[in-house]
Structure 1
Amino acid sequence: MLLLRCHLKQASPQKVLCRFCAAMGKLQSKLKHSTYRYSSPDGFIEERMQTKAFQQYSPAHVDAVSVVAALNSDLCVSGGKDKTVVAYNWRTGHVVKRFKGHDREITKIACIHKSNQFFSASRDKMVMMWELQGPSQPRQQFSGHAMVVTGLAVSPDSSQLCTGSRDNTLLLWDVGTGQCVEKASVSRNLVTHLCWVPREPYILQTSEDKTIRLWDSRGLQIAHTFPTKQHIQTYCEVSEDGHRCISCSSGFGGEGCEATLWDLRQTRNRICEYKGHFQTVASCVFLPRALASMPVIATSSHDCKVKIWNEDTGVCLFTLSLDGSGPLTSLAVADTISLLCASFSRGIHLLRVDHSRGLELREVAAF
């Protein structure tokens, strides 16, 4: 301390100030500061600053991440513009395995439930099947689309795979043989996403023609068409019980940019809408029932925000801003309190619900 005082006495006021600022900079670099917006049920919005422990893990990809999906309670699978598929342990921050085989950007990932197998779709018009414990080469390849593959869904018993494309077609494949068993084509049906209904032979599909369709896999026929929306439908998800589904839409400046809850049972009508994003909503998921006393859903958007909504009322319960991440491209449930969110600029974000403060969502890691 005496030596420090001597140095300070000899130094000019400008030098002392510079040294002080440098020391403070080193201290601040060890903390993670992020701003988020909290929306209470009564509509009150408050900007808050949080300082939390944050982990910056080694990156999963060297470019924008297009899609992320949960493989099991520890691992996720992601794909991006770097043409690679990556299995990553999001709990430890380690790459488990990299898979290379596609010639262009990865567009979709679909995992086989309770297994180490998964599928990837790409702009190279190909779909590949991979095995975590197997070789780095694809176990199976599915080639049949004329344009980029933009939809990928696995049947509940894992025996069939449905793929969709911007070529207006859906193809149904036998997973074991890799053979196409059914084909359906609808004019202007540019597929944006596919999701298989749990325990049912039905496949839900969104399209750039603003339509949501329910397909019967037995013959690949349209079983139901939902009322046409005003904007492109970008994504869809089915609830675990198979009774409801969500779709989300493109938009800009608050026009469109919503998620919609639909009834999949008798009426198949719109139940609720979730409005509050300002740009295209790219992904939507049902959150685990253990998470809250009420049913909740989450959405991610190109406006760099993740929102949690009361499923029944449409009220936004919480908004997390991931500023600097670029458009958010994909959202996946990792476990009962964690979400994975893919982005253009900062890789994949690990988000966690803070139960000590209600349903507050915070970023705890990025890779």
Structure 2
Amino acid sequence: MESGSCRPQASSPTLPQPLIMVVAYNWRCGDIMKQFKGHEREITKVACVFGTNQLFSASRDKTAILWELNGNLQPIQQFLGHDMVVTGLAVSPDSSQICTGSRDNTLCMWDIKTGECLQKATISRNLVTHLCWIPGEPLMLQTSEDKSIRIWDSRRLQVAHKFPVKQHIQTYCDVSPDGYNCVSCSSGFGGEGCEATLWDLRQTRGKICEYKGHFQTVTSCVFLPNGLSVIPAIATSSYDSKVKIWNQDTGACLFTLPLDGSGPLASLAICDTSSLLCASFNSGIHLLRINNSKGLQMQEVATF
């Protein structure tokens, strides 16, 4: 090649940018109610308080945003202060504050009206995976990649209790409606780990029961309210594309629903006394219906 000559540069194709938005559905019919755009990277969590007009989202862009379902499409408030992806989001029962958690090992408490960070707490290796409020208490439950489940006092943003460390990453947590128990779930593969664990929040705060039967990471665990099951029950979703319902007291698996073709399942949410939603990687949101008329059964009735 002669001096001063250069190779032609191949131009790289411009890839389409993915659409990043929060979508509010009417879950009864699957119709889209609103689409909110404001995050710059993928959305990791959404949260709301029933009976309010407020919807919150967290993102890999290190922020959380407040939206109004009945307002315009612009962000109402932004919460800026984390150094990494926001992976936990919980709204106080009175809707005055939110708590966010991040892979930067921190929790932040925010004033919803002003967007001000009221308190911040950092614990080494506390890579937050989920947050939820404990009913009737100024306390929050938090799971972490350090395999821990912590209870935080929201008034001082200090750890009030730490459960015995599990063998695997804790991916999600939920609290029973009466505030007496909580459940967390574990990562895993090939049936190793891959369980949910019931804990006592009142006295011993020790492990009560475990629910084993999934073969890949359990991504979500929720208490079924009275009406969804004739006995106290817990539902779980997993990367193995299955939703399972468990007897809360004995740990027995009562029903398994395979969602073939859905890919890994990401989360569960309670709708009413007979329905719950399951989010999947490949096929959107699945509306599931529980029927107790001929023994406990669960079926998919819609996808959107």
Say whether residues 1:279 and 2:279 are aligned partners. no
Match of 2:172 in 1: 235
CA distance in 1, matches of 2:176, 2:68: 27
Once the two structures are superposed, the pairs formed by residues 47-196 of structure 1 within 5 Å of their partners are 82-196=19-133
Aligned-partner residue type, residue 279 of structure 1: Q
Once the two structures are superposed, the pairs formed by residues 331-350 of structure 1 within 5 Å of their partners are 331-350=268-287
Deviations 1:137-192 (A, max 9, x none): 01100000000000000111111100000000000011111100000000000000
State the 1:294 CA deviation.
1.1
- Matched residue of 2:220: which SS? strand
State the 1:354 CA deviation.
2.2
Deviations 1:36-92 (A, max 9, x none): xxxxxxxxxxxxxxxxxxxxxxxxxxxxxxxxxxxxxxxxxxxxx742101101212
Aligned-partner residue type, residue 196 of structure 2: A
TM-score normalized by the length of structure 2: 0.93
Match of 1:308 in 2: 245
Task: Report how many aligned residue pairs link the two structures.
Answer: 287
Match of 1:246 in 2: 183
Match of 1:8 in 2: none
Deviations 1:182-209 (A, max 9, x none): 0000000000000011111001000000
Say whether residues 1:223 and 2:157 are aligned partners. no
- Matched residue of 2:293: which SS? helix
Which protein is bigger by CA-based radius of gyration?
1
Contact 2:230 2:292 in 1 (8 A): no
Match of 1:201 in 2: 138
Q: Which has the higher contact order (CA 8 A, sep 6+)?
A: 1
CA distance in 2, matches of 1:255, 1:248: 12
- Matched residue of 1:289: which SS? coil
Unaligned runs of 5+ in 2: 1-17
CA distance in 1, matches of 2:261, 2:19: 20
Q: Could you say what the CA RMSD is over the residues aligned between the two structures, in angstroms?
A: 0.9
Contact 2:185 2:195 in 1 (8 A): yes
Aligned-partner residue type, residue 134 of structure 1: G
Higher helix share: 1
Select which of 256, 266, 283 maps to 1:319. 256
CA distance in 1, matches of 2:117, 2:171: 25
Unaligned runs of 5+ in 1: 1-80
Match of 2:8 in 1: none
State the 1:243 CA deviation.
0.6
State the 1:113 CA deviation.
2.6
Identity among equivalent positions (%) equals 72
Once the two structures are superposed, the pairs formed by residues 16-35 of structure 1 within 5 Å of their partners are none
CA distance in 1, matches of 2:29, 2:47: 23
